């Protein structure tokens, strides 16, 4: 991680929290469609990060045990399991498959 | 706590067990993040400083995902910004419910994460919102700062993190974080569309672009919402 990245990400994250709270929030109040759209952004972009982290490695597409780990975790998310359980299931499934296969 | 107002059963309170669970969760998250940052070639000191000041594991991971995919620094930074919109949205729902007073509101906005906002917005009055917000926040922060400290120390020791499945932890953690949004029909469609856009672009677009362009998944969800009446909720 470069110093530029540390600085720019800090500015970006801090300012989005403050802008959201004190600028965008009041603006959105009387615009229901925009509010709904804003609420959906995390679902779309975080899912994209999940996909990227699951199927790439060092710039290449790599389909491996991580996918199974994520599917197992997804089942527990759907069953509303505690966060720590979801994370443990992903790690254990993935590493077990690597040991066994 | 001298409040005489009765707490209705519908407002959840953070029990001691919840407090410990939350701290342990963020401890695990902090350790994982540091180990992966250091494995990706960041020096221990910089990895520690980064996690203290950026205050968003999601953004750091979006950044890493793009950099590891061969993307430029700026593409990775923009990806980190895009995923941080989540925090802006959390701040939108939190801040109006807090008691009046700018300094504490600013401080709360800067600490807006998913678990503490989710806990706070379920409370009945501003005082309770503030109390549960900061109780949840302190649990998270204790875990987080201990976690990044331990993770920074472990980062140079653990070596191959994939053996213990650490590379699968963050996607799973992110999935748990957005789990509640995905339960609504619109959220589910936005998530699937965003994921598919990314999947389709990954082999052809420069690294970073798939994550940035996945924001159009929101448009797909709004379009589907307009075409199909929204009565259905997923289990």
Query: In the prediction, which pLDDT does A83 show?
Result: 79
Tell me the pLDDT of chain B averaged across its residues: 87
Query: CB–CB of B85 and A98 under 8 A?
Result: no
Query: Given a cut of 80, is residue B7 above it in pLDDT?
Result: no
Q: What confidence tens digit (pLDDT) does each residue in B47-84 have?
A: 999 999 998 988 998 898 888 888 899 999 999 999 89
**What phi and psi values does residue A61 have, to the nearest 5 degrees?**
-75, 125
Query: CB–CB of B171 and A66 under 8 A?
Result: yes
Could you report how far apart the first and last alpha carbons of chain A are, in Å?
33
Query: In the prediction, which pLDDT does B10 show?
Result: 60
- Provide the ipTM: 0.90
Question: The tokens 């001691």 sit on which residue?
Answer: B16
DSSP helix/strand/coil, B230: coil
Tell me the shortest Cα–Cα distance from B180 to chain A, in angstroms: 9
Nearest to B37 by CA among B127, B158, B123: B158
Q: What confidence tens digit (pLDDT) does each residue in A55-101 have?
A: 988 778 889 999 999 999 999 999 988 878 898 999 999 999 999 98
Q: Which of A3, A4, A18 sits opposite B109 (nearest CB)?
A: A18
Query: Given a cut of 60, is residue B140 above it in pLDDT?
Result: yes
Nearest to A18 by CA among B95, B59, B114: B95
Query: Given a cut of 50, is residue B5 above it in pLDDT?
Result: no
Q: What confidence tens digit (pLDDT) does each residue in B75-112 have?
A: 999 999 998 988 988 898 899 889 999 999 999 999 99
Torsion-angle region of B60 (φ positive above 0: left; ψ -120 to 50: alpha; else: beta)? alpha
Nearest to A1 by CA among B141, B49, B124: B49
Contacts of B95 in chain A (CB under 8 A): 21-22, 25
Tell me the shortest Cα–Cα distance from A34 to chain B, in angstroms: 10
Query: CB–CB of B195 and A3 under 8 A?
Result: no
Nearest to B176 by CA among A46, A55, A93, A45: A46
Q: Structural domain boundaries of chain B?
A: 16-177, 179-235
**B159: Cβ contacts below 8 Å, ≥ 6 apart:** none
Most confident of A30-44, B161-175, B183-197: B183-197
- Residue B34 near residue B145, CB atoms below 8 Å: no
**Alpha-helix residue ranges (DSSP H) falling in chain B:** 16-39, 44-54, 57-68, 73-94, 102-110, 114-120, 126-158, 169-177, 179-182, 185-201, 209-213, 217-227
Is B26's Cβ below 8 Å from some Cβ in A? no
What is the total residue count of chain B? 235
Mutation target vs A (from B168, B188, B193, B220; most A CBs, 10 A cutoff) = B168
Query: CB–CB of A98 and B62 under 8 A?
Result: no
- Residue A91 near residue B169, CB atoms below 8 Å: yes
Q: Structural domain boundaries of chain A?
A: 1-30
- Residue A13 near residue B84, CB atoms below 8 Å: yes
The whole-number average pLDDT for the span B3-30 is: 74
Q: What confidence tens digit (pLDDT) does each residue in B44-56 have?
A: 999 999 999 998 9
**What phi and psi values does residue B132 have, to the nearest 5 degrees?**
-70, -30
Cα torsion angle, B48, B51, B57, B59, sign: negative
Query: In the prediction, which pLDDT does B126 show?
Result: 92
């Amino acid at each position: 991680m470069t110093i530029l990245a540390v600085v720019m990400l800090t500015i970006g994250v801090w300012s989005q929290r403050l802008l959201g709270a004190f600028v965008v929030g009041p603006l959105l109040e009387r615009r229901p469609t925009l509010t709904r759209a804003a609420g959906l952004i995390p679902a779309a972009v975080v899912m994209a990060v999940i996909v990227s982290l699951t199927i790439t490695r060092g710039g290449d597409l790599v389909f491996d045990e991580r996918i199974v780990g994520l599917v197992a975790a997804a089942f527990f998310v759907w069953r509303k399991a505690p966060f720590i359980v979801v994370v443990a299931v992903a790690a254990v499934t993935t590493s077990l498959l690597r040991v066994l296969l | 706590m001298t409040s005489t107002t009765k707490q209705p059963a519908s407002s959840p309170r953070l029990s001691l067990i919840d407090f410990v669970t939350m701290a342990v969760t963020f401890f695990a998250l902090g350790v994982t993040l540091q180990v992966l940052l250091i494995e990706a070639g960041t020096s221990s000191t910089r990895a520690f400083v980064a996690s203290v000041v950026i205050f968003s594991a999601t953004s750091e991971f979006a950044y890493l995902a793009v950099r590891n995919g061969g993307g430029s620094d700026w593409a990775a930074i923009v990806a980190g910004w895009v995923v941080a919109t989540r925090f802006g949205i959390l701040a939108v729902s939190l801040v109006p419910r807090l008691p009046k007073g700018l300094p504490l509101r600013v401080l709360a906005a800067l600490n807006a994460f998913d678990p503490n906002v989710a806990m706070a917005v379920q409370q009945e009055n501003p005082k309770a919102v503030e109390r549960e917000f900061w109780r949840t926040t302190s649990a998270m922060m204790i875990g987080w700062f201990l976690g990044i400290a331990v993770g920074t120390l472990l980062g140079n020791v653990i070596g191959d993190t994939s053996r213990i499945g650490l590379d699968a932890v963050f996607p799973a953690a992110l999935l748990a974080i957005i789990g509640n949004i995905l339960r609504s029909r619109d959220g589910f469609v936005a998530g699937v569309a965003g994921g598919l856009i990314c999947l389709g672009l990954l082999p052809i677009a420069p690294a970073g672009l798939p994550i940035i362009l996945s924001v159009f998944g929101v448009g797909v969800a709004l379009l589907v919402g307009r075409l199909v009446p929204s009565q259905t909720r997923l289990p």
